[in-house]
Chain A
Amino acid sequence: MVRRQNKLSKVLLSIVMILFAIYAAFPIVWMLICSFKQNDYIFAWPPKIIDESFGLRTYVRVLTDPVKLRFFLNSYIVSAAVVVLTLIIGIMAAYAFSRFDFPLKKAVNSIIVSVQAIPQICLLIPYMGIIVALQLFNTYWALILTYLVMTLPYCILMMTGYFNTLSKELDDSVRIDGGSRFRALWGVLVPISTPALVSVGLYTFMTAWNEYLFALVLTQTTNMRTIPIGINLLITEHNYDWSMMMSMSVLGSLPILILFLFFQKYFISGMSSGAIKG
């Protein structure tokens, strides 16, 4: 009796889960299908999954267009730089927070936390002013510097929490064995923090890769635009190139998808191990 009930609830649960999965996956699948069609066929009625326009033609159009390729290059440069800088600066800041006592430690910590709480739109105008004053408008650095403000707090908080779970005797041990604190950090603490670093790195990459608002405002010329802006540029007054948008979206989602699949194992364990203390 009990067993049958269990079985029934399992079946019900599965049905609900499948419905949710379909609901979540539908836009992605639709995007994928549309990206293989020609623009004129997308709104054909009745809708067909595969029609005579089905093929790689749009992808070829995207990948042979230097303007579109430039969007991808820009996104890769900015995102990679943000990930590298966030991790380097964040790791060192987190080490200081975890291992040292310094004046105003609490105050600095609260500032870092509160930066995250300010809506980004409020920061747009001040940053615009700063970036223009620094003569960085319409450069990679304009995006990299503003993205660091978004990604560093999370990185510092996560890594401080993670380092706090690692015994200080590890540092002591390295220093006695003949190394410096620098060596202890990069030679021991960082290698054993891989799960946390992967999850922080992924989050950072996604933030930089997907960012739209600042990228729109802080760059001006087409050759400095990133993918999210590039996709949006396809919407013009006279022409919505849906199939082009869809194939660019697919190509734009691909890196994140690949990273997730590749680091899945680390990502999940990083989320949970950082949660123990912090």
Chain B
Amino acid sequence: MATVELKHISKVFSNAEKKANKNIPAEATHAVSDFNLKIADKEFVVLVGPSGCGKSTTLRMIAGLEEITDGELYIDDVQVNDMEPKDRDIAMVFQNYALYPHMTVFDNIAFPLKLRKTPKEEIKKRVEEVAQILDITEYLKRKPKKLSGGQRQRVAIGRAIVREPKVLLMDEPLSNLDAKLRNQMRAEIIALRDKINTTFVYVTHDQTEAMTLGDRIVIMKDGFIQQVASPQDAFDHPANIFVAGFIGAPAMNFFPAKLERVGDEYYVQVEKLRVKLADEKCAKLAAKNVASQDITLGVRPSHIRVDQGGDELQGTIEVSEMMGTEVHLHVKHNDNVVVIIVPVAGSYEKYSKYLKHDQKVGFSFDGEACHVFDAEGKNLEA
């Protein structure tokens, strides 16, 4: 059993701490504000958000590397605010691996066990087990300098899991790897979950990583949690414009629009295009008694269709990217660029015209695809 609970956790970096770093402005930084989260045993939680949003700081507070300014942190229902990192029974994988360069791979992985005075034979057995899991047995005698990036990352993971910690923390562990290796290691981390009994807290700025790895993802911005949800939920029902734009690639398109209520039905109007929202959405809005108002309308690139006839929005193709099974169009519409994904189904004739520059194109979407956000950016359905 290992649960982690953060209650109203905040972190403020004071002036004194910052003077050392000239890149940061002079007043205090609220790196993390009122962070609340309960992580279940063996859950895989991903903290995701743009750089500087406070992910690493949150993780380092859980690890005990950073003092908690305000709030309470519990691991297995024991408050650990003032506990030393070594007493928390957590392990951490760092972005730059932080391997000990003067030790062999074996000694690197054995290090946490040695510090805990584990008997020699036990250390050997455990290190070899871990090396087996991570497929690094043949490198045990090498120094980290002689390993590739992916191998180093495995050693770092090995060192973290060898003593079977209650919680495994990972701070952007894949961001130093090239794209191909990153995908491979991501799959291995998913596989690793089934082999070890640990609660995971994983930090990344990459929404794809978050979506593929997390049971739940915590989307952060400027030190505040924006939404805590399963990946699918965050994708289908983003809490606000920020989450809507951050989750999913290519990013969601936004249009200034009008929401109009007619009885229990809702319509959105963008220029001449008028779309009735799906019944389910209408019901939600009606239940909250949402009135007619100016809104921001969000539609994902894959939910926009081109040249259906009728009242459509008009634009000009600026860029078209052929991706194999689909074409990504960047369409200039008023002052915005709208991204549209056109499936490459059937004959060349059907999509070839979208590969042309300056081609005029009409586009539309239906009521299922619409996400409606109020003036403050909140999802009106939520």
A interface residue numbers (CB < 8 A to B): 101, 103, 105, 167, 169-170, 172-173, 175-180, 183, 188, 191-192
User: When chains A and B are docked, how far (Å) is the Cα of A192 from the Cα of B91?
Assistant: 23
Query: Is the CB–CB distance between A101 and B65 below 8 Å?
Result: no
Identity of the chain B residue whose Cβ is nearest the Cβ of A173 in the assembled complex:
B98
A183 proximity list for chain B (CB < 8 A): 115
Query: Is the CB–CB distance between A176 and B101 below 8 Å?
Result: no
Query: Is the CB–CB distance between B85 and A175 below 8 Å?
Result: yes
B201: shortest Cβ distance to chain A, in Å?
A: 13
5 smallest CB-CB distances across A and B, nearest first, come from: A178-B115, A177-B112, A169-B98, A173-B98, A169-B94
Query: Is the CB–CB distance between B98 and A172 below 8 Å?
Result: yes
Identity of the chain B residue whose Cβ is nearest the Cβ of A187 in the assembled complex:
B100
Query: Is the CB–CB distance between B94 and A172 below 8 Å?
Result: yes
Q: Does B19 contact A (CB under 8 A)?
A: yes
Please name 8 further chain A to chain B contacts, defined as beta carbons within 8 Å, in addition to the given A178-B116, A191-B102, sorted by A numbering: A101-B17, A101-B19, A101-B20, A173-B100, A175-B84, A176-B63, A179-B86, A183-B115
B100 proximity list for chain A (CB < 8 A): 170, 173, 188, 192
A227: shortest Cβ distance to chain B, in Å?
A: 36
Q: Does B73 contact A (CB under 8 A)?
A: no
User: When chains A and B are docked, how far (Å) is the Cα of A176 from the Cα of B169?
Assistant: 11
Query: Is the CB–CB distance between A175 and B159 below 8 Å?
Result: no
Query: Is the CB–CB distance between A178 and B94 below 8 Å?
Result: no
A163: shortest Cβ distance to chain B, in Å?
A: 14
Quick one: which of B58-96 are within 8 Å of A by CB? 60, 63-65, 84-86, 90-92, 94-96
**Known pairs A169-B96, A172-B94; A177 contacts B159 (CB<8 A):** yes
A177 proximity list for chain B (CB < 8 A): 86, 91, 111-112, 115, 159
Question: Which of A103, A170, A178 is within 8 Å of B98, CB to CB?
Answer: A170
A210: shortest Cβ distance to chain B, in Å?
A: 32
Quick one: which of B134-167 are within 8 Å of A by CB? 159
A188 proximity list for chain B (CB < 8 A): 100, 102
User: When chains A and B are docked, how far (Å) is the Cα of A170 from the Cα of B156?
Assistant: 12
B287 proximity list for chain A (CB < 8 A): none
B102 proximity list for chain A (CB < 8 A): 188, 191-192
A179 proximity list for chain B (CB < 8 A): 86, 115
User: When chains A and B are docked, how far (Å) is the Cα of A14 from the Cα of B95?
Assistant: 50
A216: shortest Cβ distance to chain B, in Å?
A: 43
Identity of the chain B residue whose Cβ is nearest the Cβ of A193 in the assembled complex:
B102
Identity of the chain A residue whose Cβ is nearest the Cβ of B21 in the assembled complex:
A101
Identity of the chain B residue whose Cβ is nearest the Cβ of A179 in the assembled complex:
B115
A123: shortest Cβ distance to chain B, in Å?
A: 31
Q: Does B16 contact A (CB under 8 A)?
A: yes
B55: shortest Cβ distance to chain A, in Å?
A: 15
18 residue pairs A–B, Cβ–Cβ below 8 Å: A101-B16, A167-B98, A169-B95, A169-B98, A172-B60, A172-B63, A172-B65, A172-B98, A173-B92, A175-B84, A175-B85, A175-B86, A176-B64, A177-B86, A177-B112, A178-B116, A191-B102, A192-B102
B115 proximity list for chain A (CB < 8 A): 177-179, 183
User: When chains A and B are docked, how far (Å) is the Cα of A177 from the Cα of B102?
Assistant: 16
User: When chains A and B are docked, how far (Å) is the Cα of A83 from the Cα of B155?
Assistant: 37
User: When chains A and B are docked, how far (Å) is the Cα of A179 from the Cα of B111?
Assistant: 9
Contact with A along B96-140 (1 / 0, CB 8 A): 101011100000000110011000000000000000000000000
User: When chains A and B are docked, how far (Å) is the Cα of A103 from the Cα of B14?
Assistant: 13
Max chain B C-beta neighbours (<10 A), residue from A105, A170, A192 = A170
Max chain A C-beta neighbours (<10 A), residue from B64, B94, B96 = B94
User: When chains A and B are docked, how far (Å) is the Cα of A191 from the Cα of B100?
Assistant: 10
User: When chains A and B are docked, how far (Å) is the Cα of A191 from the Cα of B102?
Assistant: 7
B17 proximity list for chain A (CB < 8 A): 101
Query: Is the CB–CB distance between B20 and A172 below 8 Å?
Result: no
B202: shortest Cβ distance to chain A, in Å?
A: 16
User: When chains A and B are docked, how far (Å) is the Cα of A176 from the Cα of B59?
Assistant: 13
Contact with A along B2-30 (1 / 0, CB 8 A): 00000000000000110110000000000
